[in-house]
Amino acid sequence: MSLKDKIDIKNLPQHIAIIMDGNGRWAKMRGKHRVFGHEQGVISVRDTAEAAAEIGVKFLTLYAFSTENWKRPATEVEALMKLLVQTIHQETKTLTDNDIRLKAIGDLDSLDKNCRKELIEAMNTTASNKRMDLVLALSYSGRWELTETFKALANKVRSGILNPDDITQEVISNNLNTAGMPEPELLIRTSGECRISNFLIWQSAYTELYFTSKLWPDFRKEDLYEAIIDYQQRER
C-alpha cells in the first residue's frame, strides 16, 4: 500500500501551513550559491501544491519570504524577487489547470514593483478557481501581522467605529491577513529546525506541529503524505 493510500480522506487537515526551510544549506552542501537552492525549492512547491490539491486539502500556506529576510544580502534579496516574478509568471497556467487559486498575505506594498504587479495579475487570473487556495506569505511575520492588526483596531476605536469592550478573539481573527481562512490544523517545517519562526503565531495556537529533517528542495509529495499520516495518528 502506498503512502497516499494510507491517508484517511475523511480526516484531512483542511489547512496546511509549511515553513520551507533549508534552501541555502542544500545549495551549500553542493558547493552552489544559495539562490540555486531557492530555484530547486520551486520544484518542491509545485510538487507539494499539486499533491495537496489532489487529495483534497483546501488551503496551503507557504512561508515564502519573511520580514526578516529583507536583512539578507541585497544580491540574494534581488535574486529572490526575480525568481518569484519568474515563478509566478510560469506557474499561473499550471495553477489554473489545477483549479488552484493564488492568494498572498504580508506587507505586499514592500515588495519589488515588478513582483507585486506579477503577483496581483496571477491572483486576478486565478480568482475564480475553487479546488484549493495556495497562499504565499510574502514579506510576512506573525508579529508584524499582529502589530498591524492592533493598529487597525485602535484606529477603529479612535474613530468611534469600534467599542473597546467589543474586541474579542473573533474580532482580532477577522482583522488578520488570514481573515476568512480556517486556522491551520497542521504546520510542517523542513530542515530539522524545531520552531515556528514568527509564522502564523496567532493562528497556530492549536495547530499540530510536524518537523522533518528533509531540506526543502528534497521535499516531495511522499513527504507531505507522511506528515498528514502522522497528523491523523494524533488525538486532537
For the annotated catalytic residues, the residue numbers are: 21, 69
Report whether 41 contacts 62 (CB < 8 A): no
- Spell out the residues 6+ positions from residue 179 whose beta carbon is closer than 8 angstroms to its own: 173
Distance, C-alpha 52 to centroid of its chain = 13
Cα–Cα distance, 83 to 183 (Å, whole number): 29
Task: Identify whether the C-beta of residue 199 lies closer than 8 Å to the C-beta of residue 141.
Answer: yes
Of 60, 61, 126, 59, which is closest to residue 96 (Cα–Cα)? Answer: 126
Compute the Cα dihedral for 103, 109, 115, 121 and give only its sign. positive
